[in-house]
Amino acid sequence: MSHPSQAAKFLKDEKRAHWHDETLWFVREKRDISSKKIPEWEELRKIASGIKDHVLSNLDNYLAELEKKATENGIHVHWAKDAEEHNKIVLEILKKQKCKAIVKSKSILTEECHLNPFLEKNGVEVVDTDLGERIVQFMKQPPSHIVLPAIHLKKGDISELFHKKLKTQKGNEDPEYLTHAAREHLRNKFLGAKVAITGVNFAIPETGEFVVCTNEGNADMGVHLADVHIACMGIEKIIPRRADLGVFLRLLARSATGQSITNYNSHFRSPAPGKELHLILVDNGRTNQLARDKFKNSLKCIRCGACMNTCPIYRRSGGYSYGSTVPGPIGSILSPGIDVKKYSTLPFASTLCGSCSDVCPVKINIHEQLYEWRQEITKAQGITGKGLSMQLANGIFKSPLAYKISGKMLRATLKTLPNSIIYNPLNAWGKGRDLPATPKQSFKEWYQKNRS
Amino acid sequence: MKVALFIPCYIDQFYPHVGQATLELLEKLNCNVSYPMNQTCCGQPMANSGYERDTEGTTRQFIETFKDFDYIVAPSGSCVLHVKEHQPCLKEGGKEQAEVQAKTYELSEFITDILKVDTIQGSFPHKIGFHSSCHGQRGLRLSSSSELNEAPFNKAKALFAGIKGLEWVELARKDECCGFGGTFAVSEEALSVQMGKDRLSDHLEHQVEIICGGDVSCLMHLQGIAQRNNNQVKFMHLAEILNQAIS
Beta bridge partners of A282: A80, A234
Report the percent of chain A where pLDDT is more than 90. Answer: 91
Of B147, B190, B223, the CB nearest to A8: B190
Q: Which of B49, B89, B217, B230 to mutate to test the interface with A (most CBs of A within 10 A)?
A: B49
Domain span holding position B153: 122-245
Confidence of residue B173 (pLDDT cuts 50, 70, 90): very high
Report how many domains make up chain B.
Answer: 2
**Orientation angle between helical segments A3-12 and B189-205, nearest 10 degrees:** 50
Per residue in B12-27, pLDDT (tens digit) is 999 999 999 999 999 9
Identify the band that residue A106 occupies on the pLDDT scale cut at 50, 70 and 90: confident
| Whether residue B101 sits in one domain with residue B50 | yes
Q: Tell me the C-alpha distance between B80 and B66, whole Å.
A: 13
Of B95, B114, B133, the residue that ends a domain is B114
Tell whether B100 and B130 lie within a shared domain.
no
Please check whether residue A133 is in contact with residue A140, taking contact to mean a CB–CB distance below 8 angstroms: no
pTM of the model: 0.96
**Chain B residues touching residue A371 (CB < 8 angstroms):** 48, 86
The answer to which of A42-51, A334-343, A409-418 has the lowest mean pLDDT is A409-418
The torsion angles phi and psi of B129, rounded to 5 degrees, stand at -105, 130
The per-residue pLDDT of chain B, averaged, comes to 97
- Check pLDDT > 80 for residue A1: no
Residue A452's pLDDT band, with cuts at 50, 70 and 90, is confident
pLDDT at position A266: 96
Nearest CA in chain A to B53: A375
Q: Which of B211, B218, B181 is nearest to B75 (CA)?
A: B218
Cross-chain CB nearest to A397 (options B20, B43, B195): B43
pLDDT of A168 over the 80 cut:
yes
Q: Which distant-in-sequence residues (6+ apart) come within 8 Å of B231 by Cβ? A: B200, B204
Q: What is the pLDDT of residues B206-233, one digit of tens each?
A: 999 999 999 999 999 999 999 999 999 9
Complex ipTM value: 0.97
Which residues in chain B touch residue A399, judged by CB atoms under 8 angstroms apart? 40, 61
Residue B93: pLDDT over 90 = no
* Same domain, residue pair B168 and B196: yes
Residues B110 and B141 in one domain: no
- Do B25 and B97 sit in the same domain of this protein? yes
Per-residue model confidence as pLDDT tens digits over A322-368: 999 999 999 999 999 999 999 999 999 999 999 999 999 999 999 99
Residues B53 and B15 in one domain: yes
Contacts of B202 in chain A (CB under 8 A): none
Compare CB distances from B147 to A11, A316, A359 and report the shortest one's residue: A359
pLDDT of residue A418: 87
Model pLDDT, residue B46: 94
Asked if pLDDT for residue A415 goes beyond 90, the answer is no
Q: What are phi and psi of A106, to 5 degrees?
A: -40, 120
Selected from 3.30.2130.10, 3.40.50.10420, 3.30.70.270, 3.90.1150.10, the CATH number assigned to the domain covering A38-284 reads 3.40.50.10420
Judge contact between B146 and B174, C-beta under 8 A. yes
Based on the domain organization, do B169 and B186 belong to the same domain? yes
User: Chains A, B: CB contacts under 8 A, how many?
Assistant: 220
Asked if pLDDT for residue B247 goes beyond 90, the answer is no
Q: Report, in angstroms and rounded to the nearest whole number, the Rg of chain A calculated over CA atoms.
A: 26
Summarize the confidence of residues A231-254 as an average pLDDT: 98
Angle at which helices B94-102 and B56-66 cross, to 10° = 70
pLDDT band with cut points at 50, 70 and 90 for residue A420: confident
Residue at which a domain ends, from B59, B93, B114 = B114
Sheet holding A195-198, edge to edge: A76-80, A276-282, A228-234, A195-198, A101-104, A125-128
Predicted local distance difference test score (pLDDT) of residue A107:
87
pLDDT band at A421 (very low <50, low <70, confident <90, very high): confident
pLDDT tens for residues B36-55? 999 999 999 999 999 999 99
Structural domain boundaries in chain A:
38-284, 400-451
Q: CA of B7: which chain A residue's CA is closest?
A: A443
- CA neighbours within 13 Å on the CB side: how many for A317? 30
pLDDT at A339: 95
Could you say which of B148, B150, B227 has the minimum Cβ distance to residue A434?
Answer: B227
- Same domain for B172 and B89, yes or no, is no
**What pLDDT band is residue B94 in, cutting at 50, 70 and 90?**
confident
Min distance B166 CA to chain A CA atoms (Å):
26
Contacts of B225 in chain A (CB under 8 A): 432-433
- Is the confidence at residue A15, as pLDDT, over 90? yes
CATH of the domain at B183: 3.40.50
CB contact under 8 A, B187 and A393: no
- Residue-wise pLDDT for B109-167, tens only, equals 999 999 999 999 999 999 999 999 999 999 999 999 999 999 999 999 999 999 999 99
Taking residues A36-58, what's their average pLDDT? Answer: 98
- Tell which residue, A145, A119, A118, has the closest CA to residue A132: A145
B134 & B238 share domain:
yes
Beta strands in A62-219 (DSSP E): 76-80, 101-104, 125-128, 195-198, 202-204, 209-214
Mean pLDDT of chain A: 96
Task: Read off the pLDDT band of A96 (50, 70, 90).
Answer: very high
For residue A419, what pLDDT is reported? 87
Is B127 found in the same domain as B110?
no
The confidence score (pLDDT) of residue A175 equals 93
Whether residue B198 is found in the same domain as residue B151: yes
Q: In chain A, whose CA is at the least distance from the CA of B13?
A: A442
Burial of residue A294 (CB within 10 Å: 0-12, 13-18, 19+) is: middle
| Domain final position from B81, B96, B114 | B114
